[in-house]
Chains A and B, each alone.
Chain A
């Protein structure tokens, strides 16, 4: 018989899958490299990258020397980065499963989306938790624009906060806007020169891993659309 629950979800022994998405240039690869540097000492890690046109991200991570190059695998998306993480996740699932098969004791697989627009989020059938990355230099208004990733990803990173004075963006206002858009979901204002922000990020990832191992982590869908009203009721479709 077909088991409707025989999906890739709910398999506690496998690694935690963390999705990292957000527009091009916001620092997704650097964030993953940072996490590798911070966590590799006591966690077994692997990375799947989804580049749009090159394997630049995978090469950058390999060159960073933060992981064994074989633990960093690139998936091509046929110019459809959105499809590869949302509608047809097959190539990414296979890459993640192959890494988990090749390295049995993996703790975390990070999946980096190809840089896409503000509407791109991961399918909860591919990742257990997802991080959406914005950067200060992209403009202080982006957090206010909202969208599924900004509003409902499990974690929103406002990245490169050390650049705020150089690009004329009010860091605190952008973080306040982001928090307002997220109804209490976490926001981290991250800078690689701000040790406390890095500790906050790694603590969040470790916390998710504990939840995953305890079997209480249920992947949440940021959804393709915002809840909206038709006058008499609010719903999502």
Chain B
């Protein structure tokens, strides 16, 4: 089973990775957009997931990891989106692994972020930190790419090429965060334009995607 799979029933079809408001504001360079995310918001998520995985494996409390993630995700709209996605994934994780301590630890949090829930899935399945970070990166690229096909006139083969060409950057991002263990190490890589788009999207009355 693939965690980064559109067929996973976690409402992934409602997400554009922030692309919808970006396109509405005139963005057309989707590969550039993907790279920007990989070095900013997606890197923060991947790092938070890796640190959360370390804490779950060591049976350490997750509160500080969640707080560090939230502090590095200044957009309320983005935090809400991540928590909504976390809720959807947790719903599935609880059904799959009702007795897993890692899932129980995350389920005990108040509105866990998606990275924290993904970390619990990684803990249960034996996924290592680098694989988890790669999964966060790859899933983000595919989310944006799939949404792009609905938002812009594109040849899906071109979009598949974009995903393929982004893989080395996904790998580099994963390698960069895979060794992190402390909440303080999670990068604070803000992206004000992405945050502004996310906030604008949360207030619009016309949207295809939740975020």
Q: Which residues of A contact B (CB under 8 A)?
A: 1-3, 6, 52-56, 59, 75-80, 83-84, 87-91, 93-94
Q: A76-B14, A88-B12 are in contact. List 13 more A-B contacts (CB 8 A).
A: A2-B97, A6-B98, A52-B208, A55-B205, A56-B205, A77-B14, A78-B150, A79-B209, A83-B13, A88-B11, A90-B9, A90-B10, A90-B11
**Range class of the B interface residue count:** 20 to 34
Which of A56, A78, A84, A91 has the most chain B CB atoms closer than 10 A to its own CB? Answer: A78
Assess the A78–B147 pair: CB atoms within 8 A: yes
Interface: B16 (CB within 8 A): yes
Contact residues, B81-117 vs A (CB, 8 A): 84, 87-88, 91-92, 95-99
Bound Cα distance from A158 to B150, whole angstroms: 33
Given A54-B205, A76-B209: A84 in contact with B95 (beta carbons within 8 A): no
Residue of B nearest to A93 (CB): B91
With both chains docked as a complex, state the minimum distance between the C-beta of B54 and any C-beta of chain A, in angstroms.
Answer: 27
17 A-B pairs with C-beta separation under 8 A: A2-B97, A2-B98, A3-B98, A59-B205, A76-B208, A78-B150, A83-B13, A88-B10, A89-B9, A90-B88, A90-B91, A90-B92, A91-B88, A91-B210, A94-B11, A94-B88, A94-B91
Bound Cα distance from A6 to B207, whole angstroms: 34
Contact residues, B178-211 vs A (CB, 8 A): 205-210
Assess the B208–A78 pair: CB atoms within 8 A: yes
Interface of A is mostly: loop
Bound Cα distance from A80 to B11, whole angstroms: 10
Assess the A54–B206 pair: CB atoms within 8 A: yes
The residues of A that contact B206 with a CB separation of less than 8 Å are: 53-54
Specify which of A2, A3, A59, A84 is in contact with B13 (CB 8 Å cutoff). A84
Residue of B nearest to A6 (CB): B95
* Chain B 65-88 per-residue mask, 1 if CB under 8 angstroms from chain A, else 0: 000000000000000000010011
With both chains docked as a complex, state the minimum distance between the C-beta of B85 and any C-beta of chain A, in angstroms.
Answer: 10
Given A90-B9, A90-B10, A91-B14: A78 in contact with B209 (beta carbons within 8 A): yes
Given A53-B206, A54-B205, A94-B91: A75 in contact with B14 (beta carbons within 8 A): yes
Residue of B nearest to A82 (CB): B13
Residue of B nearest to A87 (CB): B9
With both chains docked as a complex, state the minimum distance between the C-beta of B208 and any C-beta of chain A, in angstroms.
Answer: 5
Interface: B142 (CB within 8 A): no
With both chains docked as a complex, state the minimum distance between the C-beta of B84 and any C-beta of chain A, in angstroms.
Answer: 7
Interface: B40 (CB within 8 A): no
Residue of B nearest to A58 (CB): B205
